[in-house]
Structure 1
Amino acid sequence: MLNDTDRGQVGIGTLIVFIAMVLVAAIAAGVLINTAGLLQTQAEATGQETQQQVSDRLQIQSTTGVVDETTGNVTRVNLTVTKAPGADNIQLENVTYEFVTEDAVSTDVIDPSSNIKYIENETNDNVITDRSDRYRLTFPTSDIGESNTELEGGDTVTVTLTTAQGASTVEELRVPDSLVDRKAVKL
């Protein structure tokens, strides 16, 4: 024989268990939502940093060498640079350069106040803000290698320009075999 009061006790117990499960599910959902939000924020920051490392780089438009009339060797290297497509503004004072020859590696930061390496452009600033801006970076060859103070015909130099965001541009420069009767050469 069934008793109506027994059914009520089972119903209340089930209701209590159900409410407890709903509370646990709500807490778990809150934790999952907070974690998802945190992961989304971290993913956006990582994506922006990755984009900067890929796109915020310099693009080398041309490379030339100045030939010394007395020695017949290249004494200065000129790099004409602009910012790559999609790049934000690039502060040239924060760009690191590296020259690698067959017997030396030279690394430093571009310093526009130095008489050794300097920046030339029409606006006399050190920030590339537009794709149409062209900047000429000049490096004396004495700053490129340790043993050779000048580049001779046939020499090869690899230059790497790295922006503050970590994006690198690598260019291999080759001095023409013959430098006779030239004041400048394309590298």
Structure 2
Amino acid sequence: MFEFITEEEERGQVGIGTLIVFIAMVLVAAIAAGVLINTAGFLQSKSQETGQQSSKQVSDRLQEVVTVGQVSGNEVTAVNVTVTQAPGAGEIDLENATINWIGPSGTETLTHQRASGTDWQFNTTAVKNTDDSTTVLNDPDDRFNIDFDLDATDGPGNLQEGQSVTIKINTMSGATTSIRFTVPESLGQKSAVEL
């Protein structure tokens, strides 16, 4: 009728309760560790992706080799900017680039002649090309001319003596190269002039 609980039975029940609490704590710790590991892996992949994009914005730039103006009368009617990859740059496709032309008659945003976009466009011609790519700088030895026909429809018009222009070439990766040139004060009887 009456049951008496001895001291040994009480100790056994307390031990089982402690074991259950311990197992629950281990399970919670394991779940928390799994969540932390997954979050750390996600953040690491995001930071690597961001680092690569930032690196491309800094390194995938163009470098000016020379800028030449074609002269007719006492005006520059066309400009050719020869460019190459900047040191450490990856592959740069000029067809996907945009150029901001900031000149005496205002600002224009140009796209490549092969791309749909603005009315006044720029064109590219290979000067030195290590492969058959028509618009891609993918070797440090590659050289391309970026051609601006100032007399073209919707173009800014010819440049006069002493006028300055700044162009900003934005590559697909977001890198920007600024080039500033000035027409000499006297063009004389020259057919071409370095700007």
TM-score by length of structure 2 reads 0.85
**Which residue identity lines up with residue 150 of structure 2 in the other structure?**
T
SS in 1 for 2:77: strand
Give the one of 144, 164, 182 matched to 1:174.
182
Unaligned runs of 5+ in 2: 1-5
Cross-structure match for 2:193: 185
Give the one of 49, 56, 62 matched to 2:60.
56
Number of aligned residue pairs: 183
RMSD: 2.3
Q: Does the CA-based 8 Å contact 1:154-1:174 persist in structure 2?
A: yes
Deviations 1:46-93 (A, max 9, x none): 11111111111211111111111xx31111111000111111111121
Determine which structure has more spread, i.e. the larger CA radius of gyration: 2
Deviations 1:113-140 (A, max 9, x none): 9996332324462211111111111111
Cross-structure match for 1:126: 135
Cross-structure match for 1:37: 41
**Which residue identity lines up with residue 126 of structure 2 in the other structure?**
E
Q: Does the CA-based 8 Å contact 1:153-1:176 persist in structure 2?
A: yes
The separation in 2 between residues aligned to 1:120 and 1:107, in whole angstroms, is 22
Q: Does the CA-based 8 Å contact 1:154-1:175 persist in structure 2?
A: yes
Cross-structure match for 2:26: 22
Percent identical: 45
Superposed displacement of residue 111, structure 1: 2.0
SS in 1 for 2:82: strand
User: Structure 1 runs of 4+ off > 6 angstroms?
Assistant: 113-116
Matching of residue 157 in structure 1 with residue 179 in structure 2: no
Cross-structure match for 2:103: 101
The separation in 1 between residues aligned to 2:173 and 2:10, in whole angstroms, is 72
TM-score by length of structure 1 reads 0.88
**Which residue identity lines up with residue 88 of structure 2 in the other structure?**
G
Cross-structure match for 2:8: 4
Deviates more, 1:25-34 or 1:130-139: 130-139
